[in-house]
A and B are shown apart, each in its own frame.
Chain A
């Protein structure tokens, strides 16, 4: 796959027009959600510092250039097989041309907040599947835990050897109208999307080499190194050279591409349930040379399908005996079973109490204000203001079941009212957060579109590593605030800028292995006819 370098084109910039064509009418005050924070433009001061260089590189481009690059981008994605399945169809993962930029200081704050959250939730899960001290101390209602759909009693008493349950977390954050980051939800089960973070970067570097040359963007390519380190660190004590595998539901799963990419980058086997079996609480892999013991399973199968002995008996995806192998200490399942109790959206509302109880700290990243429908007072307020709030099921992802009050018809609101009354524990409500906007290619122009961000954190037991960047999802339809890819959203490459003069530059490079030889050796050549010989022929 060869791309024509477009550096040449970039350098012969036509005289700059008065208003860059691409951004024409960008900050139209009549646009929907005009109060949202635009990450490139300040309504008063113009282009924000973080985006200055990006803006300067983009503005001279003609709409036709944009289209050419966008086509190259799509082709690159399809040829590399970077796709996701939607209703059984493989589609290229939609990547927008314009990257999203986060400054070093913004990122530092965000990173600290995420690390704090992961540490707090680790302590919470360890407690919940152990003594439940937080409940005994009356900090959280017991009912909050026992009514969680993903509180899996089967996991009670399973203690991971290095204490880690959240090997990978995806913390969804948004920027509110003031531009402050707030956490929208935690994903502690099998958060997906990190493969797109890596592939988006690789693809952007192919198509926009010139932009990278002008920015110092922190790399995301070494994610798999961190993941593998965390998984190996989690292994049972006896395993000197732990055998790690990635367990996928199979090729028809929507995130199969990611499972395969992670296995390849970690250099471990990607297995399906049928490749594994349990005997006497030890898990083995079927190989061409016979059985091979498995120590750590990075699984991308939901708890409910993991082990037919303890969960759905008709699951064909899982491995019978997995749960007891973990209980017996012969296997580590990553992420741990039952983590869903930590990312329940009602538990989320208690995060400040949880952080205070375990860490003695106030949250560094605020939640989005949330009403709990199971508390009678808040329940009534939600029902009164149903038409202005966003109501969400406490469980589930992908944007399913969410009702946007302002957009809903009276009939939909009525149905929602009934659902909430029937199961108050099942619902929370939030004011409509006007997610921040970033310039996004729509037709031949750049328009403000709403985005969120899912940074990924990896816990190896000693430290929590947060991949600089994360998956920025963007809602393509004008005014839409729903960014899920299952709802037709797109994505953006997310650039975390390296701090000025920092060690971060050398994250991927180090001192060289050797000294470059002074004397370049010329490649050898075979016998050739010299000019005289050629002429005589």
Chain B
């Protein structure tokens, strides 16, 4: 099945006091690969800015924009049209020896690293090792994702942008970002190179053409078991036409959709919406 989707992602900020200067980077442009084709993408801001585009180390398209006129509100609208398809489980299922060979360990070293979002944890490692027993690497990815899906309860508000996999695990609940980080922590514990994916999820499997639904910013993982492939631990789902991917990295910090600095009062997000329309 092939879908054509329009994604309109709006983020609004309000500041306590006027902000004189702000420097920002948005990582909101979907990428193209064999599963997904980007047709058009645009970034607009209010107040208007001139964006500077570049591709970062991870291959993500970055829109950098600066503001110099005092403002109390900022709105960022990223819109794009992409074509997506599903992705069958890869036919290649490398052996544990392949996955842990010194070549793969060297090549994918960054995706085996511990980070502040994905820290090493003894107990979690033990669980992951238990899940690995008797399974191939590919089966292990599925089993770990399932375990994370069953272990965490989807709940907003418990964790924040800076919560680590361990925070979420100990709280027993979290959002997609936490599901992804926890999965990464366990996969890396058993030596499977794995990375964080940010993107969008269309929430209605049987949407009609032309129907606009409320989508969401989403995160899932990709693992290397002979080749890279994605899986969605939040929903315990393979990656399919409802997933639109934007960026990959070691963890959230490498792909954070909107980051920047400004001088002035504290900011609150007043509006975050993702409208997704199936066009074909």
Interface residues on B, range: 20 to 34
A219 CA to B56 CA in the complex, in Å? 45
A147 touches B54 (CB 8 A): no
A55 CA to B39 CA in the complex, in Å? 79
Residues of A within 8 Å of B58, CB to CB, are 153
Q: Which residue of B lies closest to A147 (CB)?
A: B109
B107 touches A142 (CB 8 A): yes
Q: Apart from A157-B54, A157-B56, list 15 A-B contacts with CB within 8 A.
A: A142-B106, A143-B105, A143-B109, A146-B109, A146-B113, A156-B57, A277-B21, A279-B68, A280-B50, A280-B66, A309-B23, A320-B21, A320-B261, A324-B54, A324-B64
A285 CA to B148 CA in the complex, in Å? 53
A352 CA to B38 CA in the complex, in Å? 45
Q: Which of B114-142 contact A (CB under 8 A)?
A: none
Q: Which residue of B lies closest to A309 (CB)?
A: B23
Kindly state whether residue A201 has any CB partner on chain B within 8 Å.
no
A328 CA to B50 CA in the complex, in Å? 13
Closest chain-A Cβ to B26's Cβ sits at a distance in Å of 12
Kindly state whether residue A242 has any CB partner on chain B within 8 Å.
no
Cβ-closest 8 pairs across A and B: A153-B57, A156-B57, A143-B109, A320-B23, A309-B23, A143-B106, A146-B110, A141-B106
A328 touches B56 (CB 8 A): no
Residues of B within 8 Å of A293, CB to CB, are none
A142 touches B68 (CB 8 A): no
Q: Which residue of B lies closest to A322 (CB)?
A: B23
Residues of A within 8 Å of B68, CB to CB, are 279
A63 CA to B105 CA in the complex, in Å? 64
* A to B CB contacts below 8 Å, 25 in the list: A141-B106, A142-B106, A142-B109, A143-B105, A143-B106, A146-B110, A146-B113, A153-B56, A154-B56, A154-B57, A156-B57, A157-B57, A278-B23, A279-B68, A280-B50, A280-B66, A309-B23, A309-B25, A309-B260, A320-B21, A320-B23, A320-B261, A324-B54, A324-B64, A327-B54
A277 CA to B23 CA in the complex, in Å? 11
Q: Which of B226-274 contact A (CB under 8 A)?
A: 260-261
A157 touches B55 (CB 8 A): yes
Kindly state whether residue A313 has any CB partner on chain B within 8 Å.
yes
Residues of A within 8 Å of B107, CB to CB, are 142
Closest chain-B Cβ to A279's Cβ sits at a distance in Å of 6
B261 CB contact (under 8 Å) in A146, A281, A313, A328: A313
Q: Which residues of chain A have a CB within 8 Å of any CB of chain B?
A: 141-143, 146-147, 153-154, 156-157, 277-281, 308-309, 313, 320-321, 324, 327-328
Residues of A within 8 Å of B64, CB to CB, are 281, 324
Closest chain-A Cβ to B118's Cβ sits at a distance in Å of 15
A320 CA to B113 CA in the complex, in Å? 29
**A281/B52 contact (C-beta < 8 A), A153-B57, A309-B261 known:** yes
B57 touches A279 (CB 8 A): no
A146 CA to B57 CA in the complex, in Å? 12
Residues of A within 8 Å of B110, CB to CB, are 146
Closest chain-A Cβ to B106's Cβ sits at a distance in Å of 5
A76 CA to B56 CA in the complex, in Å? 52
Interface centre among A278, A308, A320 (most CB of B within 10 A): A320
A147 CA to B57 CA in the complex, in Å? 15
Closest chain-B Cβ to A149's Cβ sits at a distance in Å of 12
**A321/B109 contact (C-beta < 8 A), A308-B261, A313-B261 known:** no
A156 CA to B1 CA in the complex, in Å? 37
A327 CA to B52 CA in the complex, in Å? 10
B66 CB contact (under 8 Å) in A153, A156, A279, A327: A279
Q: Which residue of A lies closest to B110 (CB)?
A: A146
Residues of B within 8 Å of A308, CB to CB, are 261
Q: Which residue of A lies closest to B58 (CB)?
A: A153
Closest chain-B Cβ to A81's Cβ sits at a distance in Å of 35
A308 CA to B113 CA in the complex, in Å? 25
Closest chain-B Cβ to A137's Cβ sits at a distance in Å of 13
User: C-beta contact mask, B16-30 vs A, less than 8 Å → 1, else 0?
Assistant: 000001010100000
User: C-beta contact mask, B34-72 vs A, less than 8 Å → 1, else 0?
Assistant: 000000000000000010101111100000101010000
Closest chain-B Cβ to A310's Cβ sits at a distance in Å of 8
A141 CA to B64 CA in the complex, in Å? 33
Closest chain-A Cβ to B259's Cβ sits at a distance in Å of 8
Residues of A within 8 Å of B109, CB to CB, are 142-143, 146-147
A147 CA to B106 CA in the complex, in Å? 10
Residues of A within 8 Å of B52, CB to CB, are 280-281, 324, 328
Residues of A within 8 Å of B50, CB to CB, are 280
Residues of A within 8 Å of B105, CB to CB, are 143
**A321/B57 contact (C-beta < 8 A), A142-B106, A143-B109, A146-B109 known:** no
A313 CA to B23 CA in the complex, in Å? 11
Residues of B within 8 Å of A324, CB to CB, are 52, 54, 64
A141 CA to B50 CA in the complex, in Å? 40
Residues of B within 8 Å of A313, CB to CB, are 261
A321 CB contact (under 8 Å) in B23, B55, B106: B23
B66 touches A278 (CB 8 A): yes
B66 touches A321 (CB 8 A): yes
Closest chain-A Cβ to B52's Cβ sits at a distance in Å of 6
Q: Which residue of A lies closest to B102 (CB)?
A: A141
Residues of B within 8 Å of A154, CB to CB, are 56-57
Q: Which residue of A lies closest to B49 (CB)?
A: A280
Closest chain-A Cβ to B9's Cβ sits at a distance in Å of 21
Q: Which residue of A lies closest to B107 (CB)?
A: A142
A309 CA to B263 CA in the complex, in Å? 12
Closest chain-B Cβ to A276's Cβ sits at a distance in Å of 13
Residues of B within 8 Å of A277, CB to CB, are 21
A401 CA to B108 CA in the complex, in Å? 30
Residues of B within 8 Å of A328, CB to CB, are 52
A154 CA to B110 CA in the complex, in Å? 15
Closest chain-B Cβ to A151's Cβ sits at a distance in Å of 10
A292 CA to B23 CA in the complex, in Å? 20
A152 CA to B123 CA in the complex, in Å? 32
Closest chain-A Cβ to B161's Cβ sits at a distance in Å of 13
Closest chain-B Cβ to A156's Cβ sits at a distance in Å of 4
A156 CA to B58 CA in the complex, in Å? 9
Closest chain-A Cβ to B260's Cβ sits at a distance in Å of 7
Closest chain-B Cβ to A138's Cβ sits at a distance in Å of 9
Closest chain-A Cβ to B149's Cβ sits at a distance in Å of 30
